[in-house]
Chains A and B, each alone.
Chain A
Amino acid sequence: MQLKEERLRSLLIRGLAGDPSAYHLFLGELSAHLRSFLRRRMPRLPEETEDLVQELLLAIHNQRHTYDLEQPLTAWVQAIARYKLIDLLRRRSRTDGLHDPLDDDDELFAVADTEPAEARHDLAKLLKQLPDRQRLPILYVKIEGGSVADAAKRTGMSESAVKVGIHRGLKALAVKIRSIA
């Protein structure tokens, strides 16, 4: 588990420095842990687990600048996961879904669940609702995998406007997910 923490932490730190493949591995492995964490904590809301996994991934991505490099990764991820889980339950006011108390524990990285259920909201659909100055940069850079320079050329936007569009678009997506979940 300590090894797992160290491995994920070093992947995240490389991701924060702008290494996409390390960051991809980080998010991929993290999603399995989040899924298992949430399945154990909301056993009566199984159909919502995958939605919350996705909401959490988006939140973790959008807030990655708040990770303190000295801090245990478990503590940071767990605080975000608990915040989002409590937020969801409060929006539902279905506190009966809360099976386990949401205490701090160290088991987050001890178990993983690599079998995703279907997410019910389609992020691709939500993405289509974003304004063009956010949607097109996300489409060209994040989905088609092109460069920022390339996206700037295709949209006629400046490179910094493309970066801002991606950043704001992913934040707007997080707000949209939250408002329907």
Chain B
Amino acid sequence: MKTEDLVSLLAAGVEPIDVRGTARRYGLALIGGMLGALAITVGILHLNRALSQEVFEPMFWVREAYCATLESLGLVAVTRLARPGIRLGVVPAGIGAVLIAMWTLAALILMMAPARDRAHLLLGATAAVCPFLITLVAAPLFVAFVWILRGLAPTQLRSAGAALGFAAGSFGALAYSLHCPELTAPFIGVWYLLGMLIPTAIGALFGPRLMRW
């Protein structure tokens, strides 16, 4: 087939693009992924029994804000990397700023605490399982993000994979926080972050294979 014939073929009877199609794709996938993450948190892990008291503690909301901010930044990174020729801009710096804020708070708390309490502030009771449980809760969101990106056109597949893993991990961390009993800044600054970084690494590793077009 000659190139001009291909041009005629592609142009013939071309349908208008549904301008809300992409937004609908994100909406559907994220609702599905979030429901999956909540189902794992509530159904398999169960809600934190102290939740109704914890919501009155400022640190509860610091933790939620930390997860939600990282999640929004991850989502922005995904939407940018999903389209050809759009740069990440200030997103990595934004993620860095959130992490530095949390680590600063964590360092202050550790410095002010008596030495014998420091290990417990950092490790809590669940450090050994937290990152893996966040990864588990993030799994439905990971699948949802891969589905979103397979319908778009990422051109930097490794970065797009990392971004989708980070977004899934931070959404997952937010859902997981309804189960998690830990409320100290050192714990959240380290183990929650690790829980987000495991899906990030998985995304970077498999992104090129999952999203090639």
Instruction: Establish whether residues A142 and B3, one from each chain, have CB atoms under 8 Å apart when the complex forms.
Output: no
- Known contacts A59-B213, A116-B2; decide if A20 and B14 are in contact (CB<8 Å): yes
Instruction: Establish whether residues A148 and B13, one from each chain, have CB atoms under 8 Å apart when the complex forms.
Output: yes
- Known contacts A54-B3, A57-B3, A63-B153; decide if A71 and B13 are in contact (CB<8 Å): no
Does A58 lie at the interface of the complex (its beta carbon under 8 Å from any beta carbon of B)? yes
Instruction: Establish whether residues A65 and B21, one from each chain, have CB atoms under 8 Å apart when the complex forms.
Output: yes
Instruction: Establish whether residues B213 and A57, one from each chain, have CB atoms under 8 Å apart when the complex forms.
Output: no
Does B16 lie at the interface of the complex (its beta carbon under 8 Å from any beta carbon of A)? yes
Instruction: Establish whether residues B14 and A18, one from each chain, have CB atoms under 8 Å apart when the complex forms.
Output: yes
**Chain B residues, CB < 8 A from A147:** 13
**Chain A residues, CB < 8 A from B18:** 65
Identify which of A1-9, A40-48, A76-84, A92-100 touches chain B: A76-84
**Chain A residues, CB < 8 A from B82:** 66
Which residues from chain A sit less than 8 Å from chain B, CB to CB? 15-21, 23-24, 27-28, 31, 50, 53-54, 57-59, 61, 63-68, 71-72, 75-80, 82-83, 87, 116, 119, 122-124, 138, 141-143, 145-148, 163, 170, 174
- Known contacts A68-B86, A123-B1; decide if A80 and B11 are in contact (CB<8 Å): no
Question: Which 3 residue pairs spanning A and B have beta carbons closest together?
Answer: A18-B16, A79-B84, A75-B85
Partner of B85, one of A53, A79, A170: A79
A141–B10 Cα distance when bound, in Å, is 10
Q: Mark B27-39, 1 if CB is under 8 A from A, else 0.
A: 0000000000000
Name the interface residues of B136-172: CB closer than 8 Å to any CB of A: 152-153, 155
Nearest residue (CB) in B for A140 is B13
Partner of B155, one of A80, A122, A142: A80
Q: How many residues of B contact A (CB 8 A)?
A: 29
Task: Give min CB distance, B98 to chain A, whole Å.
Answer: 26
Task: Give min CB distance, B210 to chain A, whole Å.
Answer: 15
Task: Give min CB distance, A162 to chain B, whole Å.
Answer: 10
Instruction: Establish whether residues B83 and A143, one from each chain, have CB atoms under 8 Å apart when the complex forms.
Output: no
Does B57 lie at the interface of the complex (its beta carbon under 8 Å from any beta carbon of A)? no
A18–B8 Cα distance when bound, in Å, is 14
A15–B3 Cα distance when bound, in Å, is 18
Does B129 lie at the interface of the complex (its beta carbon under 8 Å from any beta carbon of A)? no
**Chain A residues, CB < 8 A from B2:** 116, 119
A58–B155 Cα distance when bound, in Å, is 16
**Chain B residues, CB < 8 A from A78:** 85
Instruction: Establish whether residues B12 and A27, one from each chain, have CB atoms under 8 Å apart when the complex forms.
Output: no
**Chain A residues, CB < 8 A from B21:** 65
- Known contacts A15-B14, A119-B2; decide if A142 and B83 are in contact (CB<8 Å): no
**Chain A residues, CB < 8 A from B8:** 24
Does B44 lie at the interface of the complex (its beta carbon under 8 Å from any beta carbon of A)? no
**Chain B residues, CB < 8 A from A53:** 3
A160–B18 Cα distance when bound, in Å, is 14
A15–B4 Cα distance when bound, in Å, is 17
Does B112 lie at the interface of the complex (its beta carbon under 8 Å from any beta carbon of A)? no
**Chain B residues, CB < 8 A from A54:** 1, 3, 6
Instruction: Establish whether residues A76 and B11, one from each chain, have CB atoms under 8 Å apart when the complex forms.
Output: no
